[in-house]
Amino acid sequence: MGVTLRYPFVSIEAPPEYRGVPHIDPELCIGCGACVNACPPDALMRIDDLKNGTREIVLDIGRCIRCARCEEVCPTGAVKMTGRFEVASLDRRDHVEVVRLRLVRCEACGEYTDYTERQVVKALQILPEEEYDAEEIKAYSRICRRCRRKLSALGAIEASRRFAP
């Protein structure tokens, strides 16, 4: 056998810094979809189910070109390239990875919004509390865009009445 690598019968490690298939850490993923926007071959998808209030982040490693753009843009470090490369399969369904997250339900109208519970938690982590009214922001984050706009308009009308009755 001389020079030949005895490969499938011995296990080998990928070289350091090798870009293998990516993997989504479901503990860290907030479902923001930054990776979906960055993915050049659309291997990552964001599928919202507004009826049941779930968001699916789907990764198909059979479409992935391993460019690591998702790893670069992920704000929480949930997507990481792994050293794994032994991903051949007879069934394409083996290549799919799904992370299911919960969407925020609007407290005013009861419909689901287009952002997840975890996104709200993360956004509140980033906001500097001393510069904003944290309580007001927290209350507003539980309300969908349409209701928020309605509230702001009503507030403006109310305020203008005070000055010009």
Q: Which amino acid is at 40?
A: P
Q: What element of type H or E holds 153? A: helix 145-163
Q: How far is CA 40 from CA 5, 67, 69, 74, in A?
A: 34, 9, 8, 15
Contacting other proteins within 92-111 (CB under 8 A): 92-102
22, 30, 35, 115: which one contacts other proteins (CB under 8 A)?
Answer: 30
DSSP string of 108-143, one letter each residue: TT--EEEEEHHHHHHHHHHS-TTTS-HHHHHHHHTS
Nearer to other proteins, 132 or 149 (CB): 132
Q: Does 60 bind other proteins (CB under 8 A)?
A: yes
150 near other proteins (CB under 8 A): no
Relative orientation angle of helices 117-126 and 134-141, to the nearest 10 degrees: 160
Instruction: Choose, by CB under 8 A, the member of 87, 108, 109, 134 that binds other proteins.
Output: 87
Stretch that binds other proteins, among 83-91, 103-111, 138-146, 151-159 (CB under 8 A): 83-91
Does position 142 bind other proteins by CB under 8 A? Answer: no
Segment holding 101, helix H or strand E: strand 96-105
Residue type, 51: K
Figure out which of the listed residues 16, 51, 110, 126 binds other proteins, where binding follows CB under 8 A: 126
* End-to-end Cα distance, the chain: 95
The answer to the question of residue 122 lying near other proteins (CB under 8 A) is yes
Binding residues for other proteins (CB under 8 A): 3-5, 7-9, 12, 14, 17, 21, 24, 26-31, 40-43, 45, 47, 58, 60-66, 68, 71-72, 75-77, 84-90, 92-102, 117-118, 121-122, 125-128, 130
